[in-house]
Chain A
Amino acid sequence: MKDKIRDLLLFKEPSEQKLFVLHETNEKDQQSGQDKEKKDKPRRRKNEDLLLHPRKDLKVAVKKVEKNDKEKKSDISCILAENLAFIKAKFHYPENSDLVIREFDIVVKDAVIAAFLIFYDGMSDTRTINMDILQPMMLLSNLDIKSDGNGLSKYITSHILPHNQLKEVNTHQEVVDMVNFGGCGIYIDGLDVAFAADVKNLPGRAVEKPNTELVIRGPQEGFNENIRSNTALIRKRLKDDDLVAENINIGKRSKTPCAMMYIKDIANDALVNEVRRRLKNIDVDHVLDSGELEQFIEDNPLLPTPQVIATERPDRVCGMLAEGRVAIIMQGSPFVLVVPVTNDDIFHAAEDQNLRFPYANLLRLIRIFAIIMSLLLPGLYVAITNFHHEMIPTDLLLAIMSAREKVPFPSVVEVFIMEISFELIREAGIRIPGPIGPTLGIIGALILGQAAVAANIVSPILIIVVAVTGIGSFAIPNFSAGFAFRILRFGFIILAALCGFLGTATGLVLLGFWMVSAKSFGVPFVVPVGPRTKGGFSEATIKEPIYKQENRPDFVNPKDQKKQAKKSRAWVRITNDSKNEKQEE
């Protein structure tokens, strides 16, 4: 018991954690791509002189790996019956009713080679299996077996099976993984290899409008639950030769396919490595959604604000990839995660980049105002009405006094009643089945708004406060951040009720400490302000005209800092041609 109390109160050495900080890269790395190529060659030569055993070791290592691959013993038997038994056991056949095992014979002149293929009904395109796999093999009559087993497998892949995504695999596990992901496994008698064909046709949504981040100006496509269509949506927009989509499977059992996308010669290597390291070192059985994944990879699980941007919009992801960030796409989730993130990204909306800068800045200022409102307004109301009466204009003071005269509760209780009922309406609004949705509006508006005032439970001014707060929290473009401010709001109400403005100020200072100490993938969370970076404020908080946005954000330390020329509107300049034209005139 004593120990427990001591544990709770006293200082304890924090447990060792691997910290990641995204450091400034060399200046050479930051230079533009072309310069880099030029400079790379002499540097390599210089490095070679320095190395004692240049290159040889490297080559040996590579060779060893290749050898290992070849030598890796195949656990697939040459006897088809054994393979069939193994597969049946592995897939719990026949309890597993949607698994299809199709046994067939490949008829060759005089011999009959038995074979079978497996796939999950419903996940695969049966027409492709019929036309591109079964038909060529079964109707094949001139199979000329010239070589040994290995040769035969080569022959099959290169001549017989016309399917476009066919892989020769050495282990049962690979077949199983492919089948679980909608592919089809083919075993042929006499071969110690199997074939895995990607014939998946997973049921799912088509590309639809995004549900959460709606824009007026900009593309209207959203991600869906299919990883490949999501990567395709990104590639469709971001036609960059160096856009890489690395495949990483997450979950020991689920092996959910994830893709880590980045632009190789823009994104910082350290950042890419760190994301890869985190994704590969998640020790969990199943990961079902990027919402779960986000919680596994974020830096500070306790920080109220999100440290990863989850977006449904391909154009937003493309924009951030082009800045040198890393996107994580997950099979089964229409939300793509982008890291690293700073405080400012939270109140950027998808539309900002598409709008002219004065419009976008108006929206951004309104959003900052909305954040302040949703975070502080009820707290300020409580503080002013309880402690700082002299701050209110006398007319308003007397109005509040008259309104509160009939209310039996202290103003804190009043605020809590309204805030909690508002949260109730909001939660119920999400859960309520569509057809009875309007009922909620009537209940909310009439009963809470009108009747609560008529019954003197709350004062009418408070309804305004709560309404403005609610509207403010909806104006925050990031869904998770909205949550953060909703939770913190209650803290600020309590602090304001305890110590007025002193409490509010203390709360703000503590919140500031918390935010400043946080990092998102090695990047300080309040970066343009926290560690002051060049041009940070003008680019992250207030949007500059697009031709002035010459640099990628400094905090991601991209390999290529410049994203456009100093004078990107090159047509403004008078070229020699146009000069001549003028003279001719």
Chain B
Amino acid sequence: MKIRQSITLAIIVILACTPLSGCYDSREIDELGFVIALGIDKGKTNFLRMTFQIAKPGNSGGSEGSSGGGGADKGFTQITIEAPAIHTAINMLNTINSKQINISHIKAIVFSKELAQEGLNHYLHAIIRNREFRPNMSIVVAKETAEAYLSSINPQLVLNPSKYYDLAFESYEYTAFFADVEFHDFYNAADSYDQSPVAILAGISGYASADDITNKLATHEEHGHQYPLGGDHYAGEVPQAGENKAEIMGLAVFDGDRMVGELDGTESKYYLLCTGDYLHSNWTIPDPQSEGHFILMDIQQSRPRECRVTIGESPMIYLKLNLEGDFLAIQSGLPYEGKLLEQFESYVESMIKKETLAFLNKLSRDFQSDICGFGRFAKGNFLTWKEWEDYQWKSKFKDAIFEVDVNFKARRSGLIIQSNPSVSSEGEAD
């Protein structure tokens, strides 16, 4: 009897599970359409124009060898809808599409510059409130419309469209031309008293072929460089011509939820150095003693950057960067790795110091936006939250006085100890 009783009980419990809790939200994976990127523009006829990139099956799974579609098949389909709000658009999309839309795998959310300059506040709230949105998706500002940017994405090296976003937004780790900005970072910064958010800056390449490339749009003169060095470009202006027109370079600077300016690749590098998120990247350093030659170094942080903030009518911000680098190339062949080492190190220190100061001053004077989060160090000077709030850091930041110290050491010379001149029939060169 005891056995029968417990079996009956088990059956009743299992049966009760079904109506009480079970399966109502159960969806098979193949019944869902997974959005991998979402673009939000100002609408023409309505408040919003939303662009969805939805992953297509087959191309990514492709074990059957049927995936030989070549460049024509991007692995996703793109739909643009005009709607008054984000969730309305998702709802409308569900009627158009055969599959139910699932937004839990969005990799990137793209806002147009136009929308970002107006302020993103109410979109942020709608997104953070919905648990289906991933807080760790990348947040991007497209210089043109988000729709155009998403259309221009034409991944050439990956079969799986989601992988494109995964990898493309990770490259800052070794280029430092932009920063990894995840949605929750952006939201937290936009909300906070001590920091302003940034977003990844994206654009569409304007060059149809390599012959069209010009130097006009580069920002090297602004930085005092004789030639554009790697990062002296904004997104969309990088001198490149290829099949994928979508470019990521630089950052969009926000004050609260409104976009106030742009940083180019070089400035993004200094942004990373100031926040301490910098990992490593190649630097192209003009040779101090031989014009027209460069020294290439792989520079990384030797120790975390140090930061102190003193409070006053205008806050004093002291920053110390600890860097070390490996030689990748010395084009002039001068003995920077030997006799001239100390001279070279102090040259790099002064160069980085100068450019960092220029970057910080641009932030405080032009953008008046503390994207580097110096406010977090300033907070320590206050005893109560009320005092901190009353101090109004964000309004004081424009008057900030900066002091930067750089400690740079060149550590390794690579696989050769010194560069010897090449010998030709006329004897040693130089």
**Cβ B26 vs Cβ A397 within 8 A:** no
Question: With A389-B104, A390-B105 in contact, is A411–B22 under 8 Å at CB?
Answer: no
Residues in B with CB closer than 8 Å to A495 are 14, 17
Interface members, chain A 377-415 (any B CB < 8 Å):
385-387, 389-390, 394-395, 397-405, 407, 410-411
Q: A403 to B59: give the CA distance in the assembly, Å.
A: 11
Q: Which residue of A lies closest to B6 (CB)?
A: A302
Q: Which of B17, B27, B30 contacts A499 (CB 8 A)?
A: B17
Residues in B with CB closer than 8 Å to A460 are 63
Residues in B with CB closer than 8 Å to A427 are none
Q: Which of B8, B57, B134 contacts A402 (CB 8 A)?
A: B57
**Cβ B105 vs Cβ A385 within 8 A:** no
Stretch of B84-92, B158-166, B170-178, B190-198 on the interface side: B158-166
**Cβ B27 vs Cβ A503 within 8 A:** no
**Cβ B105 vs Cβ A8 within 8 A:** no
For B, the interface residue count at a CB cutoff of 8 angstroms equals 40
**Cβ A302 vs Cβ B28 within 8 A:** no
Residues in A with CB closer than 8 Å to B25 are 387
Q: Which residue of B lies closest to A405 (CB)?
A: B57
Q: Which residue of B lies closest to A461 (CB)?
A: B61
**Cβ A498 vs Cβ B61 within 8 A:** no
Q: A394 to B54: give the CA distance in the assembly, Å.
A: 12
Residues in A with CB closer than 8 Å to B157 are none
Residues in B with CB closer than 8 Å to A402 are 57-62
Question: With A404-B29, A460-B63 in contact, is A398–B55 under 8 Å at CB?
Answer: yes
Is B417 interfacial (CB 8 A cutoff)? no
Is A502 interfacial (CB 8 A cutoff)? yes
Q: A15 to B27: give the CA distance in the assembly, Å.
A: 46
Is B5 interfacial (CB 8 A cutoff)? yes
Residues in A with CB closer than 8 Å to B102 are 389
Shortest Cβ gap from A3 to chain B (Å): 12
**Cβ A502 vs Cβ B29 within 8 A:** no
**Cβ A395 vs Cβ B30 within 8 A:** no
Q: Which of A14, A395, A398, A410 contacts B28 (CB 8 A)?
A: A410
Q: Which residue of B lies closest to A404 (CB)?
A: B30
Q: A15 to B18: give the CA distance in the assembly, Å.
A: 33
Is A500 interfacial (CB 8 A cutoff)? yes
Is B3 interfacial (CB 8 A cutoff)? yes
Q: Which of B1, B18, B32 contacts A389 (CB 8 A)?
A: B32
Q: A494 to B18: give the CA distance in the assembly, Å.
A: 10
Q: A580 to B28: give the CA distance in the assembly, Å.
A: 79
Residues in B with CB closer than 8 Å to A302 are 3, 6
Q: A24 to B107: give the CA distance in the assembly, Å.
A: 60
**Cβ B8 vs Cβ A8 within 8 A:** yes
Dominant SS among interface residues on chain A:
helix
Is B23 interfacial (CB 8 A cutoff)? yes
Is A573 interfacial (CB 8 A cutoff)? no
Shortest Cβ gap from B309 to chain A (Å): 39
Shortest Cβ gap from A526 to chain B (Å): 20
Q: A85 to B387: give the CA distance in the assembly, Å.
A: 115
Is B34 interfacial (CB 8 A cutoff)? yes
**Cβ B61 vs Cβ A499 within 8 A:** no
Q: Which of A7, A389, A398, A497 contacts B23 (CB 8 A)?
A: A497
Interface members, chain B 300-328 (any A CB < 8 Å):
none
For A, the interface residue count at a CB cutoff of 8 angstroms equals 35
**Chain B positions 89 through 111: 1 when the CB is less than 8 Å from some CB of chain A, otherwise 0:** 00000000000001011010000
Q: A394 to B18: give the CA distance in the assembly, Å.
A: 29
Question: With A7-B1, A302-B3, A385-B28 in contact, is A405–B58 under 8 Å at CB?
Answer: yes
**Cβ B5 vs Cβ A386 within 8 A:** no
Q: A398 to B59: give the CA distance in the assembly, Å.
A: 9
Is A73 interfacial (CB 8 A cutoff)? no
Shortest Cβ gap from A132 to chain B (Å): 54
Shortest Cβ gap from A451 to chain B (Å): 15
Is B360 interfacial (CB 8 A cutoff)? no
Q: How many A-B residue pairs have CB under 8 A?
A: 106
**Residue of B36, B62, B105 most packed against chain A (CB within 10 A):** B105
Shortest Cβ gap from A146 to chain B (Å): 67
Q: Which residue of B lies closest to A460 (CB)?
A: B63
Is B424 interfacial (CB 8 A cutoff)? no
**Cβ A389 vs Cβ B61 within 8 A:** no
**Cβ A385 vs Cβ B29 within 8 A:** yes
Q: Which residue of A lies closest to B32 (CB)?
A: A389
Question: With A8-B8, A389-B102 in contact, is A498–B60 under 8 Å at CB?
Answer: no
Is B339 interfacial (CB 8 A cutoff)? no
**Cβ A14 vs Cβ B2 within 8 A:** yes
Q: Which residue of B lies closest to A410 (CB)?
A: B28
Shortest Cβ gap from B15 to chain A (Å): 10
Is A9 interfacial (CB 8 A cutoff)? yes
Q: Which residue of B lies closest to A14 (CB)?
A: B2
Is A12 interfacial (CB 8 A cutoff)? yes
Q: Which of B29, B58, B160 contacts A400 (CB 8 A)?
A: B29
Q: Which residue of A lies closest to B162 (CB)?
A: A394
**Cβ B2 vs Cβ A401 within 8 A:** no
Q: A495 to B22: give the CA distance in the assembly, Å.
A: 9
**Cβ B104 vs Cβ A386 within 8 A:** no
**Cβ B17 vs Cβ A503 within 8 A:** yes
Is B422 interfacial (CB 8 A cutoff)? no
**Cβ B60 vs Cβ A387 within 8 A:** no
Residues in A with CB closer than 8 Å to B34 are 389, 394, 397-398, 401
Q: Which residue of B lies closest to A453 (CB)?
A: B63
Q: A12 to B25: give the CA distance in the assembly, Å.
A: 38
Is B425 interfacial (CB 8 A cutoff)? no
Q: A385 to B27: give the CA distance in the assembly, Å.
A: 8
**Cβ A8 vs Cβ B107 within 8 A:** no
Is B4 interfacial (CB 8 A cutoff)? yes
**Cβ B61 vs Cβ A399 within 8 A:** yes
Is B21 interfacial (CB 8 A cutoff)? yes
**Cβ B57 vs Cβ A7 within 8 A:** no
Question: With A394-B105, A395-B163, A398-B60 in contact, is A8–B5 under 8 Å at CB?
Answer: yes
Residues in B with CB closer than 8 Å to A397 are 29, 34, 105
Residues in B with CB closer than 8 Å to A403 are 61, 63
Q: Which residue of A lies closest to B22 (CB)?
A: A498
Interface members, chain A 476-497 (any B CB < 8 Å):
494-495, 497
**Cβ A389 vs Cβ B27 within 8 A:** yes
29 residue pairs from A and B, CB less than 8 Å apart: A7-B5, A9-B5, A15-B2, A386-B23, A386-B26, A386-B27, A387-B26, A390-B104, A390-B134, A394-B107, A394-B162, A397-B29, A397-B34, A398-B34, A398-B61, A398-B160, A399-B60, A399-B61, A400-B29, A401-B61, A402-B57, A404-B30, A405-B61, A411-B29, A495-B17, A497-B26, A498-B18, A498-B23, A499-B21
Which are the 3 A-B pairs with shortest beta-carbon distances? A402-B61, A498-B22, A390-B104
13 extra A-B contacts, CB within 8 A, seeds A14-B2, A395-B60, A494-B14: A12-B1, A386-B27, A387-B25, A387-B26, A389-B27, A394-B105, A395-B163, A398-B57, A398-B160, A402-B61, A403-B61, A495-B17, A502-B21
B residues at A contact (CB < 8 Å): 1-6, 8, 14, 17-18, 21-23, 25-30, 32, 34, 36, 55, 57-63, 102, 104-105, 107, 132, 134, 160, 162-163, 166
